[in-house]
Chain A
């Protein structure tokens, strides 16, 4: 038979069980952070948290950003992302490693597919800024910025700005279409004379042009000249 002390101890157990249940009513509303994008740390704090191996921390954060919004069994449409915050994340990750193509790939091939078209300007700005750090090695991301500005954002003037940078990238291995890019966009803008000048300039100044490219450029120049002549007012 239980004595009185043992019964008292059992009471204490039930009292604490009851208190725990009461505490649950208060704690159940505290949920893990389910925001789509994690809050942006400062540049100094990520330097501290990297413990001297910035590459390791860069890969960890980049991976986190790749999966942001699609964790805990949920999927988030791209239109619900805060692109201004995303843009700042991209730049922050570039401060850890601007050589890697991980972040620009993520921006150009994944995040640029947002349903909210005005957000694409953040992608264009980021790709432009990323390429500015090393135009010779990063010219491809200029071309992606141009594609997004021209075809998705429909901002041809912005595309032209970047196209000039792409054409001037000091990389002899760069394909000829990259040098021709301003001509194509000027053509779209109706600036046929300017497009013609650029095409002629490439023929005169670039040495290593294949026969096929040369034929195309001669055709391009000839066609523009004919159009310009036909459009000229009759005096």
Chain B
């Protein structure tokens, strides 16, 4: 497992993942300083929200693209077959790949958090929660991208499906609000179909809208009732503990049936 993690780390360096992500995030931070500085008031909050919001999207897009293309290339170069000739079970192969990609996410989030803390005026506890939730969000995204690239034959399709998953999962709060207020669908023909589709989707997809909220950086987490589950556990931790194994088990189930 350690060898696989080290291998993924080396390929990330080889593919300039860290340099690319850091460059894009720094550029976004620079633009945020420029845009935020032109705000009438609350320039500091503007900068924080723009910079961290953009950094989150850049991180997720970067990880999805890297994971999908890395896994497909490993199949095409027959690296996967070489690894599987060694005494490695398919389950531990999937798990160690995910652990390697997850480590990459952590490596990017930690300096980002330090950068935000040093350069911007943020609520300290809110920043810790935001960083933690960004790591957990990355764990889910990486697990989904890995599952997709193990199941689908094309890297481009895996990237597209992962993007779709991410954006729909971030809209889950809106979907559940629609289900709770059927009056919104009143004018839609076949509203009951729509309602059932939304209900089914919301059952199987995670609530990523409860992750990485930049409001925590500006106002802290005190007033956010949606953050805690059973008044003690951050909802994003519980969601990740449930969803990451679900995705990895799905990937293992498919991968075990694959013929080489």
Contact = CB atoms under 8 A, between A and B. Distances in A.
B41 A51 contact: no
Interface of B is mostly: helix
A44 B167 CA distance: 17
B19 interface: no
For the complex of A and B, the 5 pairs showing the least CB-CB separation, nearest first, are A52-B209, A56-B53, A55-B215, A51-B170, A52-B170
Given A44-B174, A48-B174, A59-B50, A54 B215 contact: yes
Contacts of A109: 40
B131 interface: no
Interface of B: 35, 39-42, 45-46, 49-50, 53, 56, 167, 170-174, 177-178, 184, 208-215, 218-219, 223
Nearest to B211: A52
A63 interface: yes
A55 B40 contact: no
29 contacts: A44-B174, A44-B177, A47-B174, A48-B171, A48-B174, A51-B167, A52-B172, A52-B212, A53-B53, A53-B209, A53-B213, A54-B215, A55-B49, A55-B53, A59-B45, A59-B49, A59-B50, A63-B35, A63-B39, A63-B46, A66-B39, A66-B40, A99-B219, A101-B41, A101-B42, A102-B40, A105-B41, A105-B42, A109-B40
Contacts of A100: 42, 45, 218
Contacts of A132: none
Given A52-B170, A52-B171, A59-B46, 8 more contacts: A44-B174, A47-B173, A51-B171, A52-B173, A52-B211, A53-B170, A55-B218, A101-B41
A102 B35 contact: no
A105 B45 CA distance: 14
B47 to A, nearest CB: 10
Interface string A60-72: 0001001000000
